[in-house]
A and B are shown apart, each in its own frame.
Chain A
Amino acid sequence: MTHPEGRSRDFGPPDDPWAVLRGSTRARVALGRAGDGLPTARWLEFRAAHAAARDAVHTALDGDLVRTALTAAGVPLDVLEVRSRAPDRGTYLQRPDLGRQPAEGTELPAGRYDLALVLADGLSPRAVHEHAAGTVAAVLERLPGWSVAPIVLAHQARVALGDPVGQALGAAVVVVAVGERPGLSSADSLGLYLTSGPRPGRADSERNCISNVRPPHGLAYVQAADTLAALLQAARRLGASGVVLKDEGAALPPGGG
């Protein structure tokens, strides 16, 4: 049995029959017991994983960090920053509707672009810090000749914030790279959502998603970029995205759900 993310836990001595169970799944099996509860070491391992996930949700998106990473990755585009109507993390978590709308007074320079890229904190700003620049660089490499709008960094943002942002920028297609809800063993997973003809009111069925961009455990930047570039070409050809693109047979990565 192989399991892509491996396990960091102690597998026990080699003659431990429980090791057979442990080695066969990423699930936390055969942890042992202290009385009826978890042994201290296993309990604290769990706490550490939960703490990483919680911190990933509540870390603030650091614009300077992302700009530096983009520059280091050789991305030549300007970077703008916007905020949603959710003023803080608590409101953001309870009011997804506010996270889909730009804050009052948001102004973006209108142009005519083939593509706009929005880097949204979503539920894991850490995913944007760690994986956005690498992903963007790999995507741009695969799109020679495309006119691309300034990159927009979006704070307290949901995927659908890309709709008004892409529309304001005058982009034919918007790709939102968003921090996904952290799991216990995956606090830094980036999702890519492609929407053709962005405007407020687009349904989720009109988007295509590539999930779990998170090397080395999840999807690599080049893999994600290959798939996204293929989807972008198809979206440009059809002037649409979502279910209709999937029907076109554009390859989606395995295990991307």
Chain B
Amino acid sequence: MNRRTTLAGHTYEFPALSDLLAKATPARSGDVLAGVAAESEAQRVAAQLVLADVPLATFLDEQVVGYDEDDVTRLILDGHDPAAFAPVSALTVGEFRDWLLARAAEGDEAAISGLARGLTPEMVAATSKLMRTADLVAVGRRTRVVTGLRSTLGLPGRLASRLQPNHPTDDAIGVTASILDGLLHGCGDAVIGINPATDSPTRTVALLELVDAVISRYEIPTQSCVLAHVTTTLRALEAGAPVDLVFQSVSGTQAGNRGFGVTLDLLAEARAGALELGRGTVGEHVTYFETGQGSALSADAHRGVDGRAVDQQTLECRAYGVARAFDPLLVNTVVGFIGPEYLYDGKQVIRAGLEDHVCGKLLGLPMGVDVCYTNHTDVDGDDTDTLVLLLGAAGCGFVIAVPGSDDVMLHYQSLSFQDVLTARQVLGLRPAPEFETWLGRMELLDDAGRVRDLAPDTPAAKALLAAALP
């Protein structure tokens, strides 16, 4: 196929589809590390010009990762829904961007959201590469994905949060203190989700029982999750533990998932186990996935057709192709966690967070974002403020929050509970409806519906503390 263009007297040619996608990608360190990034700004724009003219249907016929070699590609193509694709099947990538912006401006959520099963990760990735920040926000805002288990997530005007009460030794009192702190700040409506310090089944069951006890005692309309490996969660299910959600990190290639020690069959088995428990009240979504640009490259699992490296954002979208096969309650990208060799600074992290959010939602996923950074990345609180406010404007389903922004187990910084309150206040967003009602019942809201800054001697605060801590 002739994929070339001339720009300012220089002819640029892109021999493979994966090469075209990579060269068209806005700058990020991971693509440089993989050796696939554009070598000049002009080459990047040339690739975007060529990509804009590629028909969307091309991605059904031409693969970046081979069908025969990779079960993620098979999952994506075998699950493609031609009827859902029909409204945009004649469009090019560039025309599809225009179509999305027009529907977003009209507020036609049904038209955009109805495409999900007709779109492939590669189509969505390609289109996002032609979008700027405001496009990513505008389209994200009008792409609706609603899920539920014991709280309803993704409704318009809502911003939920995962309360992440991690502790370096999984200490029960330490974890409980962080849970209480989060609840008192109106956080935890998406999930109370702990990253365990070790992957031991015994520890996982103990943590599941701990969070389940808190949720039951206060009758909180939310769900718990211990983010252990799926095989550990299977063991917990066998042991009869109160498993609300099956968690797993997933990748966009079969090799990447092998690196995580998971297969599609394992995920299906665990999901079936959790569904059988019937723990939902408002829905039946029982899986939770995390992803992040660069995870395939870091596992040396980033190659596709003819051994060519695939850019990290396209691979990230393919991970969403895995997640959506298991009807998740929650999916989030851990956007600033993986390090500066994949996303170098605030500009790259902000861009990636917005891309991941809109691409996941276009593919039908209930997307959240862990707005976060490590200390060797050139990112700080100003950047995370920018990203969370943009995500709030983009209709992001949930964000992750830890006490004081400091995850004392994983040693990185995510949002604080206060950051969630600020984003809700600035943008006029509210918690998940069931959770908001619960906050009111617990006397944690003022007359205006804002989470109260509780004086320590208020009855509500005293009651919570007395019941939780010995």
Set of chain B residues within 8 Å of A32, measured between Cβ atoms: 453
Contact across chains for B425 and A27 when beta carbons are under 8 A apart:
no
Nearest Cβ distance between residue A181 and chain B, in whole angstroms? Answer: 6
Contact across chains for A31 and B404 when beta carbons are under 8 A apart:
yes
Contact across chains for B421 and A181 when beta carbons are under 8 A apart:
no
Docked pose: A182 CA to B406 CA in angstroms: 13
Contact across chains for B408 and A26 when beta carbons are under 8 A apart:
yes
Set of chain B residues within 8 Å of A28, measured between Cβ atoms: 403-406, 408, 416
Within 8 A of A (CB), among B172-190: 173-178, 180-181
A1-B173, A50-B380, A54-B375 in contact; A184/B418 too (CB < 8 A)? no
Within 8 A of A (CB), among B314-344: 340-341, 344
Query: With an 8 A cutoff between CB atoms, is B456 at the interface?
Result: yes
Query: With an 8 A cutoff between CB atoms, is A251 at the interface?
Result: no
Contact across chains for B405 and A46 when beta carbons are under 8 A apart:
yes
Chain-A contact segment, one of B144-152, B163-171, B388-396? B163-171
A24-B173, A25-B174, A30-B181 in contact; A94/B402 too (CB < 8 A)? no
Within 8 A of B (CB), among A32-71: 32-33, 35-38, 42, 46-47, 49-50, 53-54, 56-57
Set of chain A residues within 8 Å of B418, measured between Cβ atoms: 31, 33, 36-38
A16-31 vs B, CB cutoff 8 Å, 1 = contact: the mask equals 1110111011111111
Contact across chains for A27 and B178 when beta carbons are under 8 A apart:
yes
Of chain B, the residue at the smallest CB distance from A54 is: B375
A28-B405, A257-B197 in contact; A21/B181 too (CB < 8 A)? yes
Chain-A contact segment, one of B111-119, B354-362, B438-446, B461-469? B461-469
Query: With an 8 A cutoff between CB atoms, is A95 at the interface?
Result: yes
Nearest Cβ distance between residue B139 and chain A, in whole angstroms? Answer: 28
Contact across chains for B29 and A36 when beta carbons are under 8 A apart:
no
A36-B421, A93-B340 in contact; A29/B404 too (CB < 8 A)? yes
Query: With an 8 A cutoff between CB atoms, is B132 at the interface?
Result: no
Set of chain B residues within 8 Å of A181, measured between Cβ atoms: 374-376, 411
Query: With an 8 A cutoff between CB atoms, is B105 at the interface?
Result: no
Set of chain A residues within 8 Å of B180, measured between Cβ atoms: 21, 29
The contact of B340 among A16, A26, A94, A185, by CB within 8 Å, is A94
Within 8 A of B (CB), among A78-102: 93-97
Docked pose: A93 CA to B30 CA in angstroms: 11
B190-209 vs A, CB cutoff 8 Å, 1 = contact: the mask equals 00000001100000000000
B201-227 vs A, CB cutoff 8 Å, 1 = contact: the mask equals 000000000000000000000000000
Query: With an 8 A cutoff between CB atoms, is B57 at the interface?
Result: no
Contact across chains for B341 and A25 when beta carbons are under 8 A apart:
no
Contact across chains for A95 and B376 when beta carbons are under 8 A apart:
no
Query: With an 8 A cutoff between CB atoms, is B422 at the interface?
Result: yes
Set of chain A residues within 8 Å of B403, measured between Cβ atoms: 25, 27-29, 31
The contact of B469 among A3, A20, A96, A255, by CB within 8 Å, is A20
Q: Tell me whether chain A's interface is mostly helix, strand or loop, or mixed.
A: loop
The contact of B177 among A24, A35, A46, A53, by CB within 8 Å, is A24
Query: With an 8 A cutoff between CB atoms, is B86 at the interface?
Result: no
Nearest Cβ distance between residue B470 and chain A, in whole angstroms? Answer: 10
Docked pose: A134 CA to B169 CA in angstroms: 27
Docked pose: A255 CA to B408 CA in angstroms: 13
Of chain A, the residue at the smallest CB distance from B425 is: A36
Contact across chains for A94 and B341 when beta carbons are under 8 A apart:
yes
Of chain A, the residue at the smallest CB distance from B465 is: A17
Query: With an 8 A cutoff between CB atoms, is B42 at the interface?
Result: no
Set of chain A residues within 8 Å of B408, measured between Cβ atoms: 25-28, 185
Query: With an 8 A cutoff between CB atoms, is B43 at the interface?
Result: no
Set of chain A residues within 8 Å of B411, measured between Cβ atoms: 181, 183-184, 186
Interface size class of B (residues with CB under 8 A): 35 or more
A29-B178, A185-B408 in contact; A97/B376 too (CB < 8 A)? no
The contact of B422 among A29, A31, A37, by CB within 8 Å, is A37
Set of chain B residues within 8 Å of A35, measured between Cβ atoms: 422
A46-B405, A181-B411 in contact; A25/B178 too (CB < 8 A)? yes
Set of chain B residues within 8 Å of A46, measured between Cβ atoms: 381, 404-406
Contact across chains for B422 and A36 when beta carbons are under 8 A apart:
yes
Set of chain A residues within 8 Å of B344, measured between Cβ atoms: 93-94
Within 8 A of B (CB), among A160-180: none
Set of chain B residues within 8 Å of A1, measured between Cβ atoms: 171, 173-174
Docked pose: A16 CA to B418 CA in angstroms: 20
Nearest Cβ distance between residue B49 and chain A, in whole angstroms? Answer: 27
B368-395 vs A, CB cutoff 8 Å, 1 = contact: the mask equals 0000001111001100000000000000
Query: With an 8 A cutoff between CB atoms, is B413 at the interface?
Result: yes
Contact across chains for B375 and A27 when beta carbons are under 8 A apart:
no
Docked pose: A1 CA to B177 CA in angstroms: 12
Docked pose: A93 CA to B374 CA in angstroms: 12
Docked pose: A42 CA to B406 CA in angstroms: 12
Contact across chains for A57 and B376 when beta carbons are under 8 A apart:
yes
Set of chain B residues within 8 Å of A94, measured between Cβ atoms: 29, 32-33, 340-341, 344
Of chain B, the residue at the smallest CB distance from A96 is: B341
The contact of A93 among B181, B376, B402, B462, by CB within 8 Å, is B376
Set of chain A residues within 8 Å of B456, measured between Cβ atoms: 16-18
Contact across chains for A183 and B178 when beta carbons are under 8 A apart:
no
Set of chain B residues within 8 Å of A18, measured between Cβ atoms: 456
Docked pose: A95 CA to B29 CA in angstroms: 8
Nearest Cβ distance between residue A43 and chain B, in whole angstroms? Answer: 8
Query: With an 8 A cutoff between CB atoms, is B457 at the interface?
Result: yes
Query: With an 8 A cutoff between CB atoms, is A123 at the interface?
Result: yes
Of chain A, the residue at the smallest CB distance from B405 is: A46
Contact across chains for B457 and A17 when beta carbons are under 8 A apart:
yes
Nearest Cβ distance between residue B185 and chain A, in whole angstroms? Answer: 8
Docked pose: A28 CA to B181 CA in angstroms: 9
By CB atoms of chain B within 10 A, which of A30, A47, A187 has the most? A30
The contact of B174 among A26, A185, A187, by CB within 8 Å, is A26
Nearest Cβ distance between residue A57 and chain B, in whole angstroms? Answer: 5
Docked pose: A25 CA to B198 CA in angstroms: 18
Docked pose: A57 CA to B375 CA in angstroms: 8
Contact across chains for B416 and A38 when beta carbons are under 8 A apart:
yes
Top 3 A-B residue pairs of the complex, sorted by shortest distance between their CB atoms: A28-B404, A25-B174, A183-B411
Question: Can you give 16 A-B contacts (C-beta < 8 A)?
Answer: A20-B465, A21-B465, A21-B469, A25-B173, A29-B177, A31-B418, A33-B453, A38-B404, A46-B404, A93-B344, A94-B341, A181-B411, A182-B376, A184-B375, A184-B411, A185-B408
